[in-house]
Chains A and B, each alone.
Chain A
Amino acid sequence: MDLQILLLLGQDGITNGAIYALLALALVLVFAVTRVIFIPQGEFVAYGALTLAALQAGKVPGTIWLLVALGATIAVLDGFRLLREKRYAKLPPLLIFNVGLPLLAAAGLFALPAGDLPLWLQVTITMLVVVPLGPMIYRLAFQPLASAPVLVLLIVSVAVHVAMIGLGLLFFGAEGSRTPPFTEISFELAGAPLQGQTVLVVVASAALIIGLYFFFERTIYGKALRATAMNRTGARLMGIPPALAGKLCLTLAAAIGVFSGILIAPITTIYYDSGFLIGLKGFVGAIIGGLASYPVAALGAILVGLLESFSSFYASAFKEVIVFTLIIPVLLWRSLTSRHVEEEEE
């Protein structure tokens, strides 16, 4: 192997690793705050990439119908409860956020020539359409089970994942899509080409991680999420409702997923079911961090990315096998070094 190949593979590995790191952070966050192992994390990657691709092809992305449908379901469920409890003042915001805005977005998508809009606007629209699915899914699937054991939450999580894959096939079809790169710039680094898109992915991921750090360290809502992860009862006594923390947390997770999807859409072809594998690699990173440590999870994810790219060069048929086999020594090491903690009773 010469330096050129090493650099190319390293570059590739770090790019993918940066995406896995983002997903690993989202998984750790969701697990810490809600105790949900968020399997559908990868679906947000695929939904983000494919929604952007659909917009660029001038089509109305199917995800908008999911947004409208979930919003309407929530409006009906919560609306009845509010009517029964005679809390009429909360009805207008409920209807505006869950019915009005999704319908407005749908109307906007039909009226606007989405394919001709500038890229940043298409990205914004993608975020606006897909990210709200996160808190909506929390409201419908997880909030009613907030105090259920981790295993029940995991089963629901798998169900959400399967449903989202099926809907993905319905919305986007079986063909994959690839969006044009955000930038055509290319550099040369020690004889190996360095794509502008690669640099963009790494820089954007790093910026997002720094942004998340400030959110958790400097804002009261970020601190409230950390507090919920640390001590659920304590957080409730401070008036931090678990439902608010859950919705906020899934909003972040969905945003991270969609953002990752938008970033990698120009690098790899994304299919309706590609998200699962990408999410799973983020999950390997998160496991290396014990679903608890953010920095270790991020580093682990970058390791996964590098391992993947080097093994695809040396033994491409075993690429996935090698990556997922990594989890076995990690789990062994974890179970030998950490003492077993019984699941906390609520």
Chain B
Amino acid sequence: MSKHPHLHDHEVILEVKNLRVAYGKVEALHDVDLTIRRGEIVTVIGPNGAGKTTLLASLMGLLPATGEIVYMGHAQGREREVETLVRQGMTLVPEKRELFAEMSVEDNLLLGAFDRYRSGHRDQMETMDEVFELFPRLEERRAQLAGTLSGGERQMLAMGRALMAKPKLLMLDEPSLGLAPLIIKEIFRIIAELKQTGVAILLVEQNARAALQIADYGYVLETGEVSLSGPSAELAADPRVIEAYLGLGHKTR
């Protein structure tokens, strides 16, 4: 547990053991274990209400959780604050995107780098160019207000804004939600591309087919528990997963 762990490939970025989250007396997550390594895409699939969003919210410090969370080699205390986690390179693209609707695309991106700016990094313009390279559409729309963007562009902006923080762990909550198939394909192509930059990606999805295609490892979350896990190719071939989540063409959920 050195203070500045050297980054190797396959270094463990996040390790979660026995994670429990409760809303009052109702337990939404019980004993979830999860591991994410550098440069790896890990996906969590499962039906509505399985606790996928709760999982991300608790990892990001938005909800109190019990259990063991080790991030970048540091065991996390119980008082996890969103701001501290952002400083340590964790970002979440929430399901509702949470954009700043009455601000321009450019200002939204700029605020993605707020914490880096505050901690003395003044490279936000270069980072923005990198984001524009990844999402050329955003550059065309840079002066437009975020609230006037289409659904796909909003998702791109939410992801671009998260990337402005130069994250080590990027968590995406249902990036395909409400988007047209062609846009989904584009978004997933970009997620796969991001993997090359070495960022660890935790992808929560209902669109199991698309998620398993680009992920290295997958977990199936059902009613707050991990029911299955394994390399995504194996999961995609598992009859139980095919039955419940992939369908055979006519049985898509």
* Residues in chain B near residue A224, CB distance under 8 A: 111, 114
Contacting A at CB under 8 A, from B54-73, are: 60, 62
Minimum distance in angstroms from B155 CB to a CB of chain A: 14
Are the CB atoms of A236 and B100 closer together than 8 Å?
no
A234 CA to B162 CA, complexed, in Å: 11
Tally of contact residues, B, Cβ under 8 A = 27
Residue of A nearest to B164 (CB): A238
Could you give, for residues 92-106 of chain B, a 1 whenever the CB lies within 8 Å of some chain A CB and a 0 otherwise? 101000111111000
**B118 adjacent to A239 (CB under 8 Å):** yes
Residue B160, interface by CB 8 Å: no
Could you tell me if A233 and B94 are in contact, using CB atoms closer than 8 angstroms? yes
Tell me, yes or no, whether A108 is within 8 Å of chain B by CB.
no
Interface status of B226 (Cβ within 8 A of chain A): no
B100–A239 touching, CB < 8 Å: no
Min CB distance B159 to A, Å, is: 13
Say if the beta carbon of A240 comes within 8 Å of chain B.
Answer: yes
A-contact bits for B104-119, CB 8 A (1 contact / 0 none): 0001001110110110
- In the complex, whether B176 has a CB less than 8 A from a CB of chain A is no
Using CB atoms, name the residue of chain A closest to B91: A237
Q: Compute how far the CA of A240 lies from the CA of B116 in the bound complex, rounded to whole angstroms.
A: 11
The smallest C-beta distance from A33 to any residue of chain B, in angstroms, reads: 13
Assess the A223–B60 pair: CB atoms within 8 A: no
Shortest Cβ distance from A122 into chain B, in angstroms? 34
CB of B161 closer than 8 Å to a CB of A: yes
User: Which chain B residues border A227 with CB–CB below 8 Å?
Assistant: 100, 103, 111
Among A85, A220, A230, A236, the residue within 8 A (CB) of B83 is A236
The number of residues on chain A lying at the interface, defined by a beta carbon within 8 Å of a beta carbon of chain B, is 17
Interface positions of A from 191 to 240, Cβ below 8 Å from B: 220, 223-224, 226-227, 230-231, 233-240
Task: Note all chain A residues with C-beta closer than 8 A to B98.
Answer: 231, 233-234, 237
Measured CA separation A241–B102 after assembly (Å): 20
**Chain B residue contacts of A239, Cβ below 8 A:** 82-83, 86-87, 114-115, 118, 165
- The CA-CA distance from A234 to B62 in the complex, in Å, is 12
Q: Which residues of B contact A236 (CB under 8 A)?
A: 62, 82-83
Nearest CB of B to A219, in Å: 10
Residues of A within 8 A of B62 (CB): 233, 236
CB–CB B94/A231 < 8 A:
no
Are A231 and B99 in contact (CB-based, < 8 A)? Answer: yes
In Å, the complex CA distance between A241 and B101 comes to: 19
Q: How far is the CA of A235 from the CA of B100 in the complex (A)?
A: 8
Quick one: CB contact mask for A85-105 with B, threshold 8 Å, 1 for yes? 100000000000000000000
Q: How far is the CA of A310 from the CA of B229 in the complex (A)?
A: 76
- A residues within 8 A CB of B100? 226-227, 230-231, 234-235
Query: How far does the Cβ of A165 sit from chain B's closest Cβ, in whole Å?
Result: 35
| Structural contact, A238 and B165, CB atoms closer than 8 A | yes
- B92 partner residues in chain A, CB cutoff 8 A: 237
Q: What are 10 A-B residue pairs whose CB atoms fall within 8 Å in the complex? A: A220-B110, A224-B111, A224-B114, A226-B103, A233-B98, A234-B98, A237-B60, A238-B111, A239-B83, A240-B115
